Amino acid sequence: MATHRTKMLIIGSGPAGYSAAIYGARAMMEPIVVQGLQPGGQLTITTDVENYPGFRDVVQGPWLMEEMKAQAEHVGTRMMWDTIVEVDLENGSPFRAVGDSGDEYIGDVLVIATGAQAKWLGVPGEQELGGKGVSACATCDGFFYRGKKVAVIGGGNTAVEEALYLTNHSDDVTLIHRRDELRAEKILQDRLLNHPKISVLWNKTVESFEAGDNGALSHVRLRDTQTGEDSDFGCDGAFVAIGHAPSTELFKGKLPMDDSGYLLVEAGTPKTSIPGVFAAGDVMDHTYRQAVTAAGTGCMAALDAERFLATLEVAEREAAE
Ligand code: NDP
């Protein structure tokens, strides 16, 4: 077990964590990024990114994250292949965190950039058939359904993008949505509704995922929200794409959160209720949740961290005099 000491400890390695690290390293805060279970975050399970500024052509999510990581390392960030399992915020700065590896991390400031994760429906069969037909990531698992019939559940940007992506592998894609209108952006809706390989089932909720004799998914049981009628929809793969929940389990009872678990910050800043602890990216933003906004709040966290450290140093100097 080792102890890693730094001025700036960052938990999470999406656009928010890496941006905080880039700014923090350039401000001589010698950041450590503890990368977590999914280094690079949600963009590593995305394909095309065409809304991150700076790239005229479409870029790939995993590539973009590799570049951000390389940039952060290039300016002096230390990356740790570890997952934080415990944090101690009670006594103020310096903050202590413990990794899955048993290593201890101590930072004068802490930036929480743990992001968000895909939500599940919580219906029978969903977890049991995980990896056997039910998935929450078309870009990860779509390939396995080459030439097969697939369904996507949800009506937001993620669901529509997943459905469009799946047409690379399947000629028979059905979007299942609980209402009669989509939440996704108009441009994505147009692409979906005009796509020859995609159909939409409106006003249907998923009641369960059912297995066939081979133990893999054979159909999805649906309920019509208008008539209450149940029906079975046969498919080989079903992709749940109903949004995300913030990864804040570690901070329960330690930092204020809203009802959905998003960390609360002072309006217009990344400051949590504990001086020296900042939150950036999807973990504190349930409204915008974009790579570019996450990067922006990561930058803000680093700038505020720098100010906090300067105040801390002045206070320590004064105390010593
Ligand atoms: P959203 O919250 O936008 O959409 C979730 C969808 O799932 C909604 O249509 C919702 O239905 C449906 N849903 C939620 N819970 C259930 C349930 N229990 N049963 C059935 N359906 C359910 O999440 P997204 O992940 O799509 O998007 C999150 C954010 O990320 C958004 O801000 C989005 O714009 C952004 N994003 C942007 C992308 C881009 O710009 N390229 C790509 C992907 C995401 P209902 O509509 O009825 O509430």
Per-residue pLDDT of the chain (321 residues; tens, 9 = 90+): 899 999 999 999 999 999 999 999 999 999 999 999 999 998 887 667 888 999 999 899 899 999 999 999 999 999 999 999 999 999 999 999 999 999 999 999 999 999 998 899 999 999 999 889 999 988 778 888 999 999 999 999 989 999 999 999 999 999 999 999 999 999 999 999 999 999 999 999 999 999 999 999 999 999 999 999 999 999 999 999 998 899 999 999 999 999 999 999 999 999 999 999 999 999 999 888 889 999 999 999 999 999 999 998 888 888 888
Q: State in Å: Cα 184 to ligand 1 middle.
A: 7
Superfamily of domain 134-240: FAD/NAD(P)-binding domain (3.50.50.60)
State the fold for domain 3-118+244-320.
FAD/NAD(P)-binding domain (3.50.50)
Report the alpha-carbon distance of residue 99 to residue 143 in Å, rounded. Answer: 34
Cα dihedral 73, 112, 271, 321 sign:
negative
Identity at 276, one-letter amino acid code: G
CB-defined site of ligand 1, < 6 Å: 51, 121, 154-159, 161, 178-179, 183, 205, 242-244, 289
Would you kindly state where each structural domain of the chain is located, as residue ranges? 3-118+244-320, 134-240
Residue 141's pLDDT is 84
Report the alpha-carbon distance of residue 206 to residue 217 in Å, rounded. Answer: 14
Q: Please give the model's pTM, rounded to 2 decimal places.
A: 0.79
Q: State in Å: Cα 248 to ligand 1 middle.
A: 19
299 is annotated as an active-site residue: no
Q: State in Å: Cα 209 to ligand 1 middle.
A: 20
Displacement of CA 137 from its chain's centroid (Å): 12
- On the question of a common fold for 3-118+244-320 and 134-240, the answer reads yes
Report the alpha-carbon distance of residue 202 to residue 226 in Å, rounded. Answer: 10
Of 88, 140, 232, 258, the catalytic one is: 140
Angle 50-115-204 from CA coordinates, rounded to 5°: 75
Of 48, 100, 103, 137, the catalytic one is: 137
Report the alpha-carbon distance of residue 99 to residue 82 in Å, rounded. Answer: 6
The set of residues, in sequence order, having a beta carbon less than 8 Å from that of 299 and lying 6+ positions away, is 19, 20, 22, 23
Residue 46's pLDDT is 67
